[in-house]
Structure 1
Amino acid sequence: MYCNFFKKILQHIKWNKSYLLAFSGGLDSTVLLNILSKCINTSKEKLHKKTLKIRAIHINHGLHKQSSVWEKHCSLQCIKYQIPFKSIQISIKDFSGGLEAAARRARYQALFNNLKSSEILLTAHHQNDQIETFFLLLKRGSGPHGLSGMQLHTRYKKNNIFRPFLLFKKSDIKLYAVKNKLEWIEDSSNADIKYDRNFLRIKIIPVLLKRWPNLINSIANSMKLCYDQEQLLYECLQESLDHLILADGSLNFTEILHMSKIKRYFILRSWFSKNCMHMPSIKQITYIWKNIILSKIDAQSELKIEKKIVKRFKKNLYFVSDQLKSPKKEISLSVKEIFHTKKVYLPLDLGILFFKPIIFNEQLIKKLQYLKEKNFLTKNYENTLSFFLKNKFQRIQENIFYLKNRCITIVKYPHFYKNIFLKFKNTQNILYMRKSINKKLKHNSIPPWERSRIPLLFYDNNLISALSVFITPSGYTKKDNQAILLYWKKYKVIK
């Protein structure tokens, strides 16, 4: 049994990688911890240059009277195997969907918050968990996407997840633990059938397996077929999806107005998936179609799903955070401060603004033009670039270009100005070419909820640029003049 576990997991381990184990102290994660410790020893003994870095994290939900005892047990287990350990205490505030769902959301949020960019998250989900998930999703009326279940390797947002025990049944894992005399935590709440997953595990699945012993393998095959079908659909519609789902995460719905219902709904579900949202119900999809997409252009129809609100602006659909806020204070800087720090941390979740002095010469212009033609910016960034360049050898009017989550704006150097300001509020009262900034932003297709979150750059009282949107005549720079390159790196796309 040890060799079977060990060989299969070794085949999927990525050497010279770092892993973070979600360690509850229960049977499954205890066995995984034990096997990982043996993998580490093997890497030290036989692989020489190749190493395996593992650390463990325990999420203390604080829902059980034994929570602190379990935390201590997990700590001692990691000391025994010489694996770095960390415990996180969490509190559950959002109970929508029930306690199980709320605890899972809070747990994964804590795990992702503590996951380093170079790490892969390890969980101990096994084949029996997969079958329980299948029945829960079947109960909810999920389609092929949901019924495909968990995958061995998957990516959620920017996080990589590896579930090696999906290769094994619960009975195999327990047999390994008993033979190796491992100690694990038995959570008494796992016997409470008021929770759906426990009810399936205790009351339903054993009866089904008694009747059909091969049911686990059969369901696993069906889930694989669902997954393959979804992947095929994505491949067939990839060109349409890339065209309709924009870099900021919004969906242009113009073309789906003329599509069949099946294709239209698949694209809407794909939009949810691309934004890491749970699959919507038929009722929610129908509401979005009838009450938001088909509504009048000035209608205010919207739909709240999880912590996001589906909104429409012109011909696009957006996911907008239900807690979206706008900065209240302006940021005041001097030229000396800018070139000393070279960056400014913007308020709330707007990111960082970097400053770099440049000479706006013909060589730079040609480079930008080349990047535009090749739809390419850097080797490690796959998103296409779209910038606007007018009168390239005389006066630069809109030297702004974009890629997902980032924007670069080039404006004239603030030679003769004492102060530099970044403002966010009162856009109605600021005029640019006899129009309010608000109208100018609207004309540039900036949704209403984003307008007060666009940094407005001022030199003294002169408006220079609404970053990522436009540059005023006061901000123009000419060929061979000194200029400022402002690189706005957002923490996340404004939605």
Structure 2
Amino acid sequence: MKPTLPAKLLQALAPWHNAPAWHIAYSGGLDSTVLLHLLAGLAKTQPLPPLHAVHVHHGLQAAADAWPAHCQAVCEAAGVPLRVMRVSVQPGASLERAARDARYQAFAEAIGPGELLLTGQHRDDQAETLLFRLLRGAGVRGLTGMPAQRPLGKGHLVRPLLEVSQAELETYAREQSLSWIEDPSNGDPRFSRNYLRHHVFPVLAARWPQAVNSLARTAGHVAEAQGLLDELAQLDMQAAQLPSAFPWLGLPSLALAPLCDLSDARQRNALRYWLAPLTPLPDSEHWIGWSTLRDAKGDAQPIWRLADGQLQRCNDRIWWIPTKWSEFSDSPLSWSHLQTPLQLPGNGQLYFSGHAPDGPLSVRYRQGGEVMELPGRGRRDLKRLLNESAVPGFIRGRLPLLYQGSRLLAVANLARASTGQGDDWQLQWAPPTCDQGLS
């Protein structure tokens, strides 16, 4: 016997019954209205987590001003608390993308640790996504379609209706006499997804009635293939994830030589896997940046600029540097012994281990031409000391320098670049963490 729609939903959400709360992304449209009705009904007979609904008001069209009131009335009838969130959509090349980004940012703010956001995307949406991405030339990861679940904010986004067709949702809505909002923009063919929905899929379905099911099934096959590629990437990454000589930097980095031993295709696969949590991935044409970085001469310090940061190569290692991580103030700071640790604007913290040297002390940054008087070594140029320690070039300008009056005493974290570090004291620097620097 074919399972009912409530049974399908309950089975899809079985792994999440211990979540602190379930939040329904409720636009007021057909899909989310059915999802809300189903969950409210199940909550009367099943021990579900507390239900909440979230309606995001984009303010993009006049008709939308009436939607929160409709959503409020439906939620009150269903006994589900509603939160209305108003967002500003940033103008850009794609209004669809901008609205989606604003919407999911609001959703991320609405859910707490371990909580779920449930959305109403269904099998037809999955087929639509696959065809849309295929036409844009997406890679294997893009052609996996929408995942059934993924992290969102401090919780997770779950799509429990991906195995359900739009026809099933429409049948349920009619049988239950549900009312929902028809968004006027859903018929506008200027939006790519609407064009596919109203002009392309009807033609495909006329010739291939199972087109939607077949495309959604293909997305599942591609997702399985992507899983195998991820497993290969994890194996290839093991040799490249050797610890760096500067663990205190806290930046993601990889040894270059193990990557170069792989084929070009496996290099790209491993890097895609590594970069995916850090930045939007480049399209095929922009991977030339990786080749340039990889093949540069040993004494070069090439840069591959990506959407949310850059890869730099230093001393046969590649480093990920987030855009925000690079932003800091290099203004000098006076340092009183009472200030421990010393907060460096945009540059972490500075502190002593052991007894601090006598003042007056100040913290400055490299300008060029600095020299130090080192016990037993005489006057040494700071640039040479940094070269001896193989300090990556991108960090040299933000290494804190400790001065006693006009005398350079120490370079943070470099025991060999100090006038007196040893048993008495050491200058320690904790740079911004990855959480502070990564987007």
TM-score by length of 2: 0.78
Q: Indicate conservation of the 8 Å contact 1:457/1:467, yes or no.
A: no
Cα drift, residue 135 of structure 1: 0.8
User: 1:293: which partner in 2?
Assistant: 294
Q: Indicate conservation of the 8 Å contact 2:312/2:320, yes or no.
A: yes
Matches within 5 A, 1:190-201: 190-201=186-197
SS of aligned partner of 1:165: coil
Cα drift, residue 288 of structure 1: 2.0
Partners in 2 of 1:41 and 1:418 — Cα distance? 70
Give the gaps of 5 or more residues in structure 1: 356-409
Partners in 2 of 1:37 and 1:471 — Cα distance? 66
User: 1:174: which partner in 2?
Assistant: 170
Q: 2:365 aligns with which of 425, 428, 431?
A: 425
SS of aligned partner of 1:154: strand
**1:57-88 residue CA offsets vs partner (Å, 9 max, x unmatched):** 33333322234333444455445534251413
Q: 2:180 aligns with which of 167, 178, 184?
A: 184
Q: Indicate conservation of the 8 Å contact 1:54/1:84, yes or no.
A: no
Q: Indicate conservation of the 8 Å contact 1:456/1:466, yes or no.
A: yes
User: 1:223: which partner in 2?
Assistant: 219
User: 1:137: which partner in 2?
Assistant: 133
SS of aligned partner of 1:164: coil
SS of aligned partner of 1:254: helix
Q: Percent identity?
A: 26
Partners in 1 of 2:181 and 2:342 — Cα distance? 48
User: 1:490: which partner in 2?
Assistant: 433
Partners in 2 of 1:256 and 1:265 — Cα distance? 9
Verify: 1:202 aligned to 2:198, yes or no: yes
Q: Output the aligned Cα RMSD.
A: 3.9
CA 1:316–1:109 in structure 2 vs 1: closer, same or farther (change >3 Å)?
farther
**1:128-170 residue CA offsets vs partner (Å, 9 max, x unmatched):** 1111111122112223222112221223697532111212122
Deviates more, 1:126-135 or 1:483-492: 483-492
Partners in 2 of 1:41 and 1:477 — Cα distance? 69
Give the gaps of 5 or more residues in structure 2: 243-249
Q: 1:325 aligns with which of 301, 324, 327?
A: 327
Verify: 1:69 aligned to 2:66, yes or no: yes
User: 2:270: which partner in 1?
Assistant: 267
**1:208-233 residue CA offsets vs partner (Å, 9 max, x unmatched):** 22322323332233222222222223
Q: How many residues align?
A: 420
Deviates more, 1:315-324 or 1:214-223: 315-324
**1:156-199 residue CA offsets vs partner (Å, 9 max, x unmatched):** 69753211121212222233333333333222111111221111
SS of aligned partner of 1:161: strand
Partners in 1 of 2:414 and 2:160 — Cα distance? 44
Partners in 2 of 1:64 and 1:205 — Cα distance? 27
SS of aligned partner of 2:56: strand
Q: Indicate conservation of the 8 Å contact 1:444/1:469, yes or no.
A: no
CA 1:9–1:221 in structure 2 vs 1: closer, same or farther (change >3 Å)?
closer
User: 2:10: which partner in 1?
Assistant: 7
**1:270-299 residue CA offsets vs partner (Å, 9 max, x unmatched):** 233242x334322112x1243322133455
Matches within 5 A, 1:41-440: 41-42=44-45, 47=47, 52-80=49-77, 81-93=79-91, 95-96=92-93, 98-155=94-151, 160-245=156-241, 248-275=251-278, 277-285=279-287, 287-297=288-298, 302-322=303-323, 324-329=326-331, 334-336=336-338, 338=340, 347-348=345-346, 353=349, 411-414=353-356, 423=363, 425-426=365-366, 428=368, 431-432=371-372, 433=374, 434=379, 440=385
Partners in 1 of 2:217 and 2:148 — Cα distance? 14
